[in-house]
């Protein structure tokens, strides 16, 4: 699995795409929604929101619909998700679900928007993640088995930690896969995806 792309790490952009999934919004409204739903992985607000909207607009993933002004408030431009933006959202969520990274934040963001993809897409992406985590855990165990007899434990605690982190994530992903396979995790209807 190739590493995450720079665009995949744009969690503000991902959030804008997800928030526009259910209709037009202006940037301030999206900002409020992020705060209200505690999407803590989105940082640098509100400036980062405006930059993300500009990038997404430049890439034709969102388009401006109208600009209005109420009284002496600043102008507010409403944006809409394009078909390309909808495809990009699903693609990013799938990649973030499938690709392990030392930084857990992209995975947390993908889990936040997992309802944007189908159950089948989520299962497939999580299977890829589980396979990559299994491979990483096997390699870490081999390193530990090779180095353990030769080095004092104090020099290997970071390896111990990494193995525990990877195997813990793998266990959690497998449990989520089991919930998806059994149907015990209720999947949202399209109107329920984003609060």
Residue range 112-168, pLDDT digits in tens: 999 999 999 999 999 999 999 999 999 999 999 999 999 999 999 999 999 999 999
Question: In terms of C-beta density within 10 A (0-12 exposed, 13-18 middle, 19 or more buried), how is residue 61 classed?
Answer: buried
Residues 85 and 24 in one domain: yes
pLDDT the model gives residue 195: 44
Listed residue (190, 175, 181) closest to 90, CA to CA: 190
pLDDT band at 192 (very low <50, low <70, confident <90, very high): low
Burial class for 72, CB neighbours closer than 10 Å (0-12, 13-18, 19+): exposed
**Alpha carbon distance 37, 10 (integer Å):** 18
Q: Considering 89, 112, 135, which residue would you say is the last residue of a domain? A: 112
- For residue 104, what are the domain limits? 7-112
Q: What angle do CA 116, 49, 12 make, to 5 degrees?
A: 40
- Give dist(CA 117, CA 131) in Å, integer: 20
Region of residue 188 (left: phi > 0; alpha: psi -120 to 50; beta: else): beta
Cα separations in angstroms, 38 against 35, 51, 90, 128: 5, 20, 21, 28
Q: Which long-range contacts (CB under 8 A, 24 or more apart) does 146-151 make?
A: none
* Six token digits for residue 174: 């497998």
Using alpha carbons, select from 37, 38, 39, 15 the residue that is nearest to residue 27: 15
Domain count, the chain: 2
**Cα gap 191→33, rounded to integer Å:** 16
Alpha-carbon gap, residue 167 to 161, rounded angstroms: 10
Token readout for 172 is: 């959690």
36 and 131 housed in the same domain: no
89 and 132 both lie in a single domain: no
Rounded to the nearest angstrom, the gap between the alpha carbon of residue 99 and the centroid of all alpha carbons in its chain is 10
Domain end (from 62, 82, 112): 112
pLDDT digits (tens, 9 = 90+) for 69-126: 888 888 899 999 999 999 999 999 999 999 999 899 999 999 999 999 999 999 999 9
Is 1 a domain residue?
Answer: no
Identify whether residues 78 and 135 lie together within a single domain. no
Contact predicate 136/128, CB 8 Å: no
Same domain, 12 and 94: yes
């Amino acid at each position: 699995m190739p590493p995450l792309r720079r665009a995949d790490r744009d969690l503000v952009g991902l959030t804008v795409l997800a928030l526009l999934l259910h209709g037009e919004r202006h940037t301030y409204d999206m900002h409020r929604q992020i705060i209200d739903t505690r999407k803590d992985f989105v940082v640098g607000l509100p400036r980062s929101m405006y930059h993300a909207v500009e990038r997404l607009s430049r890439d034709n993933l969102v388009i401006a619909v109208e600009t209005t002004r109420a009284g002496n408030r600043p102008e507010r431009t409403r944006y809409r998700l394009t078909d390309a933006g909808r495809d990009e959202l699903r693609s990013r969520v799938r990649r973030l679900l499938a690709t392990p990274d030392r930084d857990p934040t992209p995975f947390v963001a993908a889990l936040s928007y997992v309802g944007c993809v189908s159950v089948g897409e989520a299962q497939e992406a999580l299977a890829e993640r589980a396979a990559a985590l299994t491979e990483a855990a096997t390699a870490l165990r081999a390193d530990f088995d090779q180095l353990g007899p030769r080095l004092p434990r104090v020099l290997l605690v970071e390896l111990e930690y990494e193995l525990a982190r990877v195997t813990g994530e793998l266990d959690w992903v497998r449990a989520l896969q089991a919930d998806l396979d059994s149907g015990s995790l209720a999947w949202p209807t399209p109107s329920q995806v984003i609060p």
